[in-house]
């Protein structure tokens, strides 16, 4: 606490000298000196501020670290989702292609029955 007050004294003297050069400055300096002597400021607040500022910066760094880890896990999750979708779509396309082939074969078979001479397909039509 003493070091803070020792650091403030030269600063106050500088302002006192600079304000004495101007009449309005002299009045402000006197008012400031009176107020300073009456109020007796608590300089421990500065130490508390520094402590809390360090604590705040530590928390910000911790938050940044956790956010980076979260983003990395989120990217892994998104990559796995994309891989799952790609694998599903590959299987779906294979199944769709196979069904399409089966329906084409069936349609061709039915078209061939419709347009073929009836005599050649007697067994299919149930005729003996």
Q: What pTM, to 2 d.p., does this model score?
A: 0.46
Q: Which long-range contacts (CB under 8 A, 24 or more apart) does 72-75 make?
A: none
Quote the mean pLDDT of the chain: 79
Give SS3 for 122: coil
Decide if pLDDT at 128 tops 50: no
- Comparing 1-5, 13-17, 26-30, 88-92, which segment has the lowest mean pLDDT? 1-5
Q: How many CA atoms lie within 13 A of 113 on its CB side?
A: 11
CB 29, CB 20: distance < 8 Å: yes
Give SS3 for 34: helix
What are the tens digits of pLDDT across the range 72-114? 999 999 999 999 999 999 999 999 999 998 888 877 777 777 6
Mean pLDDT of 39-46: 79
**Cα gap 50→5, rounded to integer Å:** 16
């Amino acid at each position: 606490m003493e070091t803070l007050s020792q650091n403030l004294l030269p600063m106050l003297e500088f302002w006192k000298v600079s304000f004495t050069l101007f009449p309005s400055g002299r009045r402000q300096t006197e008012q400031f000196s009176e107020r300073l002597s009456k109020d007796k400021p608590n300089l421990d607040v500065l130490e508390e501020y520094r402590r809390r500022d360090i604590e705040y910066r530590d928390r910000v760094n911790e938050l940044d670290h956790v956010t980076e880890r979260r983003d990395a896990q989120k990217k892994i999750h998104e990559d796995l989702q994309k891989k799952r979708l790609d694998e599903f779509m590959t299987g779906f396309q294979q199944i769709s292609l196979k069904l399409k082939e089966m329906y084409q074969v069936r349609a061709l078979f039915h078209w061939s029955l419709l347009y073929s001479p009836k005599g050649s397909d007697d067994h299919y039509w149930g005729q003996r």
